[in-house]
A and B are shown apart, each in its own frame.
Chain A
Amino acid sequence: MSIDSLLPKWTTEFKKGYSKPLILFTLSKVEKSYAYLLTKKILELTKGEISIAGSNIYPMLSKLERDNLITSQLDESERKFYTLTQKGTDFLKNLETEIQKFNSIMLEIINPNQSHGDM
């Protein structure tokens, strides 16, 4: 397989790993959102780099809700919107630290001569 065809596959793989954290980070910024608007906001925040296509967000939202990290309610138009729970907010703080630690290690491996700010 050529580099040109391998690279998009690998990129998609690691971007997928960021989907659920991105939902939480986005919800912490917008406070509440509908499912589709979340995907739009994520696309906007990631400058078009990460898009959760169409309905792919539903199983993720459902998993986050089962883990009590987010909660859903119906608004006056009977439409479901999502918000972060207290557990979700606390979890996000810890996740943020973990992501920064991991990214710093990765950057150190990629470019060992530069300082990347130890956590």
Chain B
Amino acid sequence: MTKKYSDPIDGYIWEVGNLLPYPEEIKRPVLEDLKKDVQDAMGEDKRPPAVVFGSPVDVAKNVSLAQSWGITSASWSKRMVASVIDSTIIGFLFAIAIFIRFALLGFDIDKVAIPFHNMEMDFGFLFISLPIFGFMVGYFIILEQTYSTTLGKRLLGLTVVDETGIKISWNQSILRNLSKIPLVGFFLLIDLFVGIFSEKTRGRNQRMLDFVAGTKVIQNK
């Protein structure tokens, strides 16, 4: 998701802003001030702003740290409610898929051949179970990386950010959501309980995988 700007400074500020998953009204004045600093720094310099002023990631980190935006941790209770909402959405889609699966049992298309390898794959697995499995994993990974939140989290005003308060990377999103993969789902409980019981010693409420990925869930509104 990149936008084209005729002025490279505007493009640069957009990139920085895109890394800061906070409401527009609190971001705007800070980014406007930043733009003036970047304009000063650029002067007559023809090099890209990222070379003169620093990479958008570094700038976003410094802006976030300076504003202390990402410091209000979300409570465990809100995180759990958000998780229940997300699980309900996934469960609902899963139920629809199961329904389709059974509805199709009556048809003689349960086996389909994949032409490349001469293999026979179960229709239900290929077209229903596999996409649903992908959705269950992808739901959290894609939404949290792209929008810094999920539907459940959004309803409760929760945002996933990295330790410096900026948008998480793909690697961080995959890592923090490993325990949500359906087949290793039991690990989520260990992940959660280790987080809850080590909160006092570590002084922060992160799941174990949040800690490993360097991410946290904050209360954004």
Shortest CB-to-CB span from A55 to chain B, Å, is: 4
The yes or no answer to A93 lying at the interface (CB within 8 A) is no
The yes or no answer to B9 lying at the interface (CB within 8 A) is no
B40/A58 in contact, CB under 8 A: no
Shortest CB-to-CB span from B165 to chain A, Å, is: 11
Shortest CB-to-CB span from B97 to chain A, Å, is: 47
Beyond A54-B53, A54-B58, A55-B58, is A79–B63 a contact (Cβ under 8 Å)?
A: no
Which of chain A's residues has its CB closest to B55's CB?
Answer: A54
Interface string of A9-37 (1 = CB under 8 A from B): 00000000000000000000000001111
| Chain A, range 50-93, C-beta contacts under 8 Å to B | 53-56, 58-59, 61-62, 77-80
Beyond A54-B53, A62-B67, A62-B68, is A35–B37 a contact (Cβ under 8 Å)?
A: yes
The yes or no answer to B204 lying at the interface (CB within 8 A) is no
Beyond A36-B41, A37-B40, A79-B36, is A58–B63 a contact (Cβ under 8 Å)?
A: yes
Which of chain A's residues has its CB closest to B16's CB?
Answer: A55
Which of chain B's residues has its CB closest to A39's CB?
Answer: B41
Which chain B positions have C-beta within 8 A of A34?
Answer: 36-37, 40
Shortest CB-to-CB span from B181 to chain A, Å, is: 36
Which chain A positions have C-beta within 8 A of B87?
Answer: none
| Interface band, chain B | 20 to 34
The yes or no answer to B32 lying at the interface (CB within 8 A) is yes
Which chain B positions have C-beta within 8 A of A61?
Answer: 66
A78/B37 in contact, CB under 8 A: no
The yes or no answer to B142 lying at the interface (CB within 8 A) is no
Which of chain A's residues has its CB closest to B59's CB?
Answer: A55
A80 vs B38: C-alpha distance in the bound complex, in angstroms? Answer: 14
A36/B32 in contact, CB under 8 A: no
Shortest CB-to-CB span from A11 to chain B, Å, is: 21
Shortest CB-to-CB span from A68 to chain B, Å, is: 16
B54/A55 in contact, CB under 8 A: yes
Which chain A positions have C-beta within 8 A of B40?
Answer: 34, 36-37, 40
Shortest CB-to-CB span from A52 to chain B, Å, is: 11
Can you list 16 A-B contacts (CB < 8 A)?
A: A34-B37, A35-B33, A35-B37, A36-B41, A37-B40, A40-B40, A53-B54, A54-B54, A54-B62, A55-B63, A58-B63, A59-B65, A59-B66, A61-B66, A62-B65, A62-B67
Which of chain A's residues has its CB closest to B53's CB?
Answer: A54
A36 vs B41: C-alpha distance in the bound complex, in angstroms? Answer: 7
Beyond A36-B40, A80-B33, is A55–B53 a contact (Cβ under 8 Å)?
A: yes
Shortest CB-to-CB span from B11 to chain A, Å, is: 16
